[in-house]
């Protein structure tokens, strides 16, 4: 809600500092700020009763004295001949009207009123409509006016017995279904859909001279139903469906009439009304025990002066030694339980007056799974940052057109209502965010860029959505894309992955196999698994991605599942006090023979005291390749002799020769 | 005895040892002369070739020379360990450049906050980003007409499934499974359909709650106050004021005195002297009831904070979008 600061000041007896007023409003739950002389007030969604100035002023009346703005009924220059008939009393238990003659609807609306309407996004229409809309914004009671010359002598609140089509005051065709509430005159013309919108039949225009102004109570849930049926929401229906205060009905009518009278001379009838108390909402009461309030707030209930808190309020209460009983106004739908009342009390009493009391120690044990997961994650972050990788965080939703290149389209999860086409699907892979971030930085930042992200990815599998936590890394070849590819970057990345798994999960042997990845180069990529279970991928980005993103460097990427269940416990092993002895051998073999094949084969030979088989280097020789391997021997019981080691080494060599048709040099 | 080979060995040794430049070379000499297959041992094996009457004398000679070689090598090893006198270096030059990159500031902030609550006895719960309407709205007393449920404000994956709009869904999951007393936090990504200089469609929240007998607003105030003092690393003045959330009653917003101007009003606090930092309240009785917790016996406190917001205040970051742009120059500051 927006109100001119000068306007709001007029409602109070004494001079008001607007900044202090704004602070007070904010403190009681109506966040406000001043912007170029206009107070902007945020009304909480549960306080419809404050979507009008009276409501706000009422809240502030705890702090400031109000001017006496009583609306007196000063008219009755002629008798109101119009009769009210309420056939649907449950729907409309209270209905009142006033008749105004000889009105000039062409006079200019005063600026103050026009400004207030504009501020609250209500378009100016004509004098009468503007006054009524303005009155609604001030009092919270919607008013409606009919052109008296167009309607009969009776106003009947009724229900239709068939489907009827009408034109509304804004010239739209509306189908009113059978058994819907209507207001019609004695000629059976529908003059309005009560509480929602008027019909064009009785519409006020610039030439209107005589009007009937209606102020009524319509049942909130029935107005809500009408809104839904008709698919219309208006200023009036918004107020009615959130319950108005029946006590305000006549007062607000007086307010509007006084306002009209202030600006022009016209004849005004008495107000006639029909009220069926039996059908009005019953009074509600909420009892709050004093010891409950004390327990809830740790305040002494006897020290709280409710008289001052509820002064000028619509909330009456009775007090006894042990409790208070509160009578709740109809339009305070936010007050339904005792905690709501406590909230009302404390907000004026002041939360800052409540002391602090320590909670007890809950001695909550840290779950082992949580600790392991979290500590591993922290170690990964530390390890990667110390190796020059920056941690990034990107959005969980990405561009579908790109994600389709990375994962099968069937696996992607669409957002029904994305915020943009660049973010219309949940990410199936961390790659897209990493590439885009890389690109942004490579334009600004000339140094080597290495990035990683830890986050969830989402996969559709048999109609279910599977969420998994992954880590992904990206780094670029140092040289331009037009230079020759240097595969060493692949092995740098591979080493990082192996270190993470070796140190954190105590899994020393990851398996690297060929992969069918859609987004990695077929010759420079691998699927990573542990005991035949896939945990990730590593490789050079496929050319199509490099083209799509117009990348200037070759990019290497690795992605891995976190939260492994098969990490191993670490135990200390007895160390040998005897020296390690190394033998380096070079194997010349076909290019399709991999280091892993040779290593695994050597293991099958079960050579005693062979502790380690490590890779030294590889290079091409004509159509074959040379792989240099270091064999490390160590015994727990003695120093191994040259003779022993040589014999084992030669055995290994002979075996490899036969197995792989290889040649050797030592 | 003529032509002691051993004397030749000694002369060669003296020449070799003199030319060594470092410990590695000294070691090579040591192996050459004193190793198992070294020249001294080989010479010992050659004693057999010498006539018997001269063997004893030759053996003594070999030992003498062996001892000499040992001593000389020891001496040389000792000298190699002495610091050489080098030229003076420029000690003001920077260290050799190996990049030490950064953890993302959000990740760092989360760690810090989590540490506080863990140490304060809160359990850390798992997080669930994809949720249904019941856990994200209904069970939290958010009625069907609430604007937050509309497709303008919440991301939907299907009619029923959505991306959670707050971490409060974990409150429901937990309260339905566990019996009080419960003291827990949960954090992670949340999603709202909003994007401008102070809002992003994805951000991080942390939710904390305690459900027990006799939990009061006073306990809530204590928890919040201690946390904020820890996080901002100073005694912080707080202002608690009324607010509205459907899942707490009473509901409050908490402001801290502006850390830039200490309440004197500035641009950071939009000339108010205060900065809003988090929302909190007493868990609504309906929420407890929805989780089959007897609200006549138990009460609960709950609080939720935006990690981005807290980071921005603490580290003076003026645009939330910087946190997801991931510009290295920005990330490197932390």
How close is the nearest chain A Cα to the Cα of B83, in Å? 30
What is the percent of chain A where pLDDT is above 90?
Answer: 64
Q: What is the pLDDT of residues B109-119, one digit of tens each?
A: 999 999 999 98
Say yes or no for a CB contact (<8 Å) between B124 and A384. no
Q: Which of A101, A198, A90 is nearest to A144 (CA)?
A: A198
Say yes or no for a CB contact (<8 Å) between B151 and A417. yes
- Closest CB to B122: pick one of A45, A364, A449: A364
* pLDDT value of residue B240: 95
Least confident of A376-380, B164-168, B305-309: A376-380
* pLDDT value of residue B19: 85
The model's confidence at residue A194, banded by pLDDT at 50, 70 and 90, is very high
How close is the nearest chain B Cα to the Cα of A587, in Å? 29
List beta partners, residue A528. Answer: A512, A536
* pLDDT value of residue A566: 55
Asked if pLDDT for residue B97 goes beyond 80, the answer is: no
Q: Which of A431, A394, A391 is nearest to A517 (CA)?
A: A431
Average pLDDT over residues A205-231: 94
The model's confidence at residue A447, banded by pLDDT at 50, 70 and 90, is low
- Closest CB to B221: pick one of A354, A393, A450: A354
Average pLDDT over residues A492-516: 83
* pLDDT value of residue B2: 52
Give the CA distances from residue B220 to residues B113, B202, B305, in Å, rounded to whole numbers and listed in that order: 17, 28, 14
Residues on chain A touching B250 (C-beta within 8 angstroms): 339, 342-343, 346-347
How close is the nearest chain A Cα to the Cα of B3, in Å? 34
B297 part of contact set with chain A, CB < 8 Å = no
Say yes or no for a CB contact (<8 Å) between B241 and A44. no
Residues on chain B touching A359 (C-beta within 8 angstroms): 121, 183, 210, 215, 219, 222-223
Say yes or no for a CB contact (<8 Å) between A343 and B218. no
Angle at A105 between CA A103 and CA A110, to 5 degrees: 110
Higher pLDDT, A489 or B32: B32
Q: What is the pLDDT of residues B136-190, one digit of tens each?
A: 999 999 999 898 999 999 999 998 899 999 999 999 999 999 999 999 999 999 9
The model's confidence at residue A298, banded by pLDDT at 50, 70 and 90, is very high
* pLDDT value of residue A201: 93
Report which secondary-structure segment, H or E, holds B46. Answer: none
Average pLDDT over residues A456-460: 95
Q: Are A129 and A145 in contact (CB under 8 A)?
A: yes
Average pLDDT over residues A448-466: 92
Report which secondary-structure segment, H or E, holds B186. Answer: strand B182-191
Residues 17-76 of chain B with CB under 8 A from chain A are none
Q: Are A520 and A541 in contact (CB under 8 A)?
A: yes
Task: State the helix-helix crossing angle for B23-34 and B5-18, rounded to 10 degrees.
Answer: 170
Which residues have a Cβ under 8 Å from the Cβ of A590 and sit 6 or more positions away? A624, A625, A660, A661
* pLDDT value of residue A397: 95
How close is the nearest chain A Cα to the Cα of B14, in Å? 30
* pLDDT value of residue B23: 85
Q: What is the DSSP string of B113-165?
A: HHHHHHHTTPEEPP---EEEHHHHTGGGT--TT-GGGSTTTS-BSSSSEEE-S
| Residue B328 to residue B315: CA distance in whole angstroms | 16
Which residues have a Cβ under 8 Å from the Cβ of A34 and sit 6 or more positions away? A5, A18, A19, A22, A40
What is the percent of chain B where pLDDT is above 70?
Answer: 96
Three-state DSSP class for residue A144? strand
Average predicted confidence (pLDDT) for chain A: 90
For residue B333, give the chain A residue with the closest CA: A390
Average pLDDT over residues A527-537: 89
Least confident of A508-517, A529-538, B58-67, B209-218: A508-517
Residues on chain B touching A418 (C-beta within 8 angstroms): 155
B246 part of contact set with chain A, CB < 8 Å = yes
Using CB atoms within 10 A of its CB, is residue A461 exposed (0-12), middle (13-18) or buried (19+)?
exposed
Buried b (16+ CB within 10 A) or exposed e, A204-240: beeebebbbbbbbbbbbebbbebbeebebebbbbbbb
| Residue A617 to residue A559: CA distance in whole angstroms | 26
- Closest CB to B201: pick one of A393, A419, A467: A419
Q: Are B203 and B190 in contact (CB under 8 A)?
A: yes
Average pLDDT over residues A561-574: 72
Residues on chain B touching A364 (C-beta within 8 angstroms): 121-123, 183-184
Report which secondary-structure segment, H or E, holds A87. Answer: none
According to DSSP, residue A456 is labeled: E
For residue A350, give the chain B residue with the closest CA: B241
How close is the nearest chain A Cα to the Cα of B67, in Å? 26
For residue B298, give the chain A residue with the closest CA: A296
User: The pTM is what?
Assistant: 0.83
Average pLDDT over residues B31-55: 90
Number of H helices, E strands in chain B: 12, 9
Phi, psi for B116 (deg, rounded to 5): -60, -50
Residues on chain B touching A454 (C-beta within 8 angstroms): 107
End-to-end CA distance of chain A: 88
List beta partners, residue A38. Answer: A4, A35
Asked if pLDDT for residue A407 goes beyond 80, the answer is: yes
How close is the nearest chain A Cα to the Cα of B65, in Å? 28
* pLDDT value of residue A484: 61
The model's confidence at residue A516, banded by pLDDT at 50, 70 and 90, is confident
Instruction: Look up residue B308 and give its two tokens.
Output: 């981005």
Q: Where are the alpha helices (DSSP H) in A592-641?
A: 595-604
* pLDDT value of residue B271: 85
| Residue A638 to residue B29: CA distance in whole angstroms | 26
Residues on chain B touching A343 (C-beta within 8 angstroms): 242, 249-251
- Closest CB to B217: pick one of A297, A378, A440: A297
- Closest CB to B130: pick one of A388, A419, A467: A467
Average pLDDT over residues A107-126: 91
Q: Which of A557, A543, A409 is nearest to A473 (CA)?
A: A557
Report which secondary-structure segment, H or E, holds A454. Answer: strand A450-461
Least confident of A34-43, A238-247, B93-102: B93-102
Residues 115-134 of chain B with CB under 8 A from chain A are 118, 121-124, 128-130
* pLDDT value of residue A647: 93
Asked if pLDDT for residue A285 goes beyond 90, the answer is: yes
Q: What is the pLDDT of residues B211-267, one digit of tens each?
A: 999 999 999 999 999 999 999 998 889 999 999 999 999 999 999 999 889 889 888
Report which secondary-structure segment, H or E, holds A519. Answer: none
Residues on chain B touching A496 (C-beta within 8 angstroms): none
Q: Are A417 and B151 in contact (CB under 8 A)?
A: yes
Where does A56-159 show beta strands of DSSP type E? 83-86, 94-101, 143-147, 154-159
Q: CB contacts < 8 Å between A and B, how many?
A: 212
* pLDDT value of residue B85: 61
B218 part of contact set with chain A, CB < 8 Å = yes
Average pLDDT over residues A339-366: 89
B103 part of contact set with chain A, CB < 8 Å = yes
Three-state DSSP class for residue A233? coil
What is the percent of chain A where pLDDT is above 70?
Answer: 95
How close is the nearest chain A Cα to the Cα of B262, in Å? 17
Residue B85 has a CB neighbour count (10 Å cut-off) of 5
* pLDDT value of residue B82: 62
ipTM of the complex, rounded to two decimals: 0.86
């Amino acid at each position: 809600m927006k109100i001119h600061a000068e306007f709001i000041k007029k409602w109070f007896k004494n001079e008001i500092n607007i900044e202090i007023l704004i602070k007070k409003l904010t403190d009681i739950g109506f966040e406000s700020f001043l912007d170029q002389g206009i107070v902007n007030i945020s009304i909480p969604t549960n306080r419809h009763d404050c979507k009008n100035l009276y409501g706000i002023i009422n809240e502030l009346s705890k702090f400031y004295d109000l001017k006496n703005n009583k609306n007196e009924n000063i008219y009755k220059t002629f008798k109101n001949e119009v009769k009210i008939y309420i056939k649907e009393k449950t729907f409309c238990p209270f209905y009142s009207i006033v008749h105004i003659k000889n009105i000039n609807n062409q006079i200019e609306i005063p600026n103050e009123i026009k400004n207030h309407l504009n501020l609250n996004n209500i378009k100016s229409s004509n004098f009468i409509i503007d006054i009524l809309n303005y009155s609604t914004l001030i009092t919270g009671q919607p008013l409606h006016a009919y052109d008296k010359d167009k309607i009969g002598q009776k106003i009947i609140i009724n229900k239709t017995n068939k489907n009827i089509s009408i034109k509304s005051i804004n010239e739209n065709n509306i189908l009113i279904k059978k058994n819907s509430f209507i207001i019609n005159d004695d000629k059976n013309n529908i003059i309005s859909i009560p509480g929602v919108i008027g019909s064009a039949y009785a519409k006020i225009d610039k030439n209107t001279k005589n009007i009937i102004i209606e102020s009524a109570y319509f049942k909130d849930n029935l107005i809500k139903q009408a809104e839904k049926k008709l698919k219309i929401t208006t200023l009036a229906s918004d107020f009615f469906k959130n319950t108005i205060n029946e006590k305000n009905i006549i007062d607000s009518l007086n307010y509007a009439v006084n306002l009209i009278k202030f600006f022009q001379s016209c004849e005004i009838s008495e107000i006639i009304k029909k009220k069926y108390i039996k059908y009005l909402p019953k009074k509600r009461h909420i009892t709050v025990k004093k010891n409950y309030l004390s327990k809830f707030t740790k305040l002494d209930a006897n020290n709280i002066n409710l008289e001052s808190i509820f002064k000028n309020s619509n909330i009456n209460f009775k007090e006894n030694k042990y409790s208070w009983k509160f009578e709740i106004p109809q339009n305070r739908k936010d007050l339904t339980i005792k905690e709501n009342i406590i909230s009302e009390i404390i907000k004026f009493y002041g939360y800052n007056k409540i002391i602090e009391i320590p909670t007890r120690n809950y001695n909550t044990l840290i779950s082992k799974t949580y600790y392991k997961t979290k500590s591993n994650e922290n170690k990964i972050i530390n390890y990667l940052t110390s190796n020059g990788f920056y941690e990034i965080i990107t959005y969980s939703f990405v561009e579908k057109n790109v994600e389709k290149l990375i994962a099968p389209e069937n696996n992607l999860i669409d957002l029904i209502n994305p915020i943009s086409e660049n973010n219309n699907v949940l990410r199936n892979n961390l790659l897209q965010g990493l590439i885009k971030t890389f690109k942004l930085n490579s334009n600004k930042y000339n140094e080597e860029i290495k990035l990683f992200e830890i986050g969830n990815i989402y996969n559709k599998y048999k109609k279910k959505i599977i969420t998994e936590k992954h880590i992904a890394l990206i780094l670029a070849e140092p040289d331009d894309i037009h230079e020759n590819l240097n595969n060493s970057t692949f092995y740098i990345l591979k080493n990082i992955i192996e270190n993470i798994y070796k140190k954190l999960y105590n899994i020393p042997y990851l398996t690297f196999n060929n992969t069918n990845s859609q987004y990695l180069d077929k010759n420079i990529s691998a699927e990573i698994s542990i005991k035949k279970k896939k945990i990730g991928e590593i490789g050079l980005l496929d050319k199509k991605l490099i083209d799509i993103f117009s990348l200037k460097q070759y990019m290497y990427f690795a992605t891995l599942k976190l939260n492994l269940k098969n990490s191993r416990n670490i135990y200390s092993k007895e160390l040998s006090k005897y020296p390690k002895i190394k033998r380096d051998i070079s194997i010349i073999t076909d290019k399709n023979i991999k280091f892993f094949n040779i290593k695994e084969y050597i293991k099958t030979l079960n050579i005693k005291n062979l502790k380690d088989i490590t890779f030294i280097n590889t290079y091409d020789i004509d159509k074959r390749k040379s792989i240099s391997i270091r064999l490390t021997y160590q015994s727990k019981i003695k120093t191994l002799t040259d003779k022993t080691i040589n014999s084992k080494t030669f055995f290994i060599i002979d075996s490899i020769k036969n197995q792989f048709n290889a040649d050797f040099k030592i | 005895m003529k032509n002691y080979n051993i004397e030749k060995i000694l002369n060669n040794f003296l020449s070799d040892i003199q030319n060594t430049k470092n410990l590695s070379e000294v070691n090579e000499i040591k192996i050459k002369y004193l190793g198992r297959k070294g020249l001294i041992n080989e010479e010992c094996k050659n004693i057999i070739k010498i006539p018997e009457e001269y063997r004893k004398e030759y053996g003594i000679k070999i030992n003498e020379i062996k001892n000499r070689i040992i001593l000389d090598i020891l001496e040389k090893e000792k000298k190699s360990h002495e610091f050489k006198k080098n030229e003076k270096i420029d000690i003001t030059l920077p260290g050799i450049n190996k990049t030490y990159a950064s953890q993302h500031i959000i990740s760092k902030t989360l760690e810090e906050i989590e540490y506080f609550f863990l140490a304060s006895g809160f359990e850390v719960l798992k997080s669930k980003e994809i949720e249904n309407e019941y856990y994200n709205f209904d069970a939290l007393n958010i009625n069907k007409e609430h604007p937050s449920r509309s497709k303008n404000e919440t991301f939907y994956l299907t009619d029923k499934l959505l991306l959670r709009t707050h971490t409060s869904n974990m409150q429901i999951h937990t309260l339905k499974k566990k019996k009080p007393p419960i003291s827990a936090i949960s954090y992670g990504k949340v999603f709202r359909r909003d994007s401008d200089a102070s809002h992003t469609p994805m951000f991080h929240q942390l939710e904390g709650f305690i459900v027990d007998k006799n939990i009061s607003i006073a306990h809530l105030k204590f928890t919040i106050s201690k946390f904020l003092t820890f996080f901002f690393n100073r005694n912080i003045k707080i202002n608690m004021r009324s607010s509205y959330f459907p899942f707490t009653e009473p509901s409050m917003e908490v402001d801290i005195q502006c850390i830039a101007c200490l309440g004197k009003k500035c641009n950071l606090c939009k000339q108010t002297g205060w900065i809003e930092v988090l929302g909190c309240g007493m868990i609504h009785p309906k929420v407890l009831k929805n989780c089959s917790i007897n609200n006549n016996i138990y009460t609960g406190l709950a609080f939720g904070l935006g990690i981005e917001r807290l980071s921005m205040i603490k580290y003076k970051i003026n645009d939330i979008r910087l946190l997801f742009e991931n510009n290295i120059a920005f990330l490197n500051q932390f």
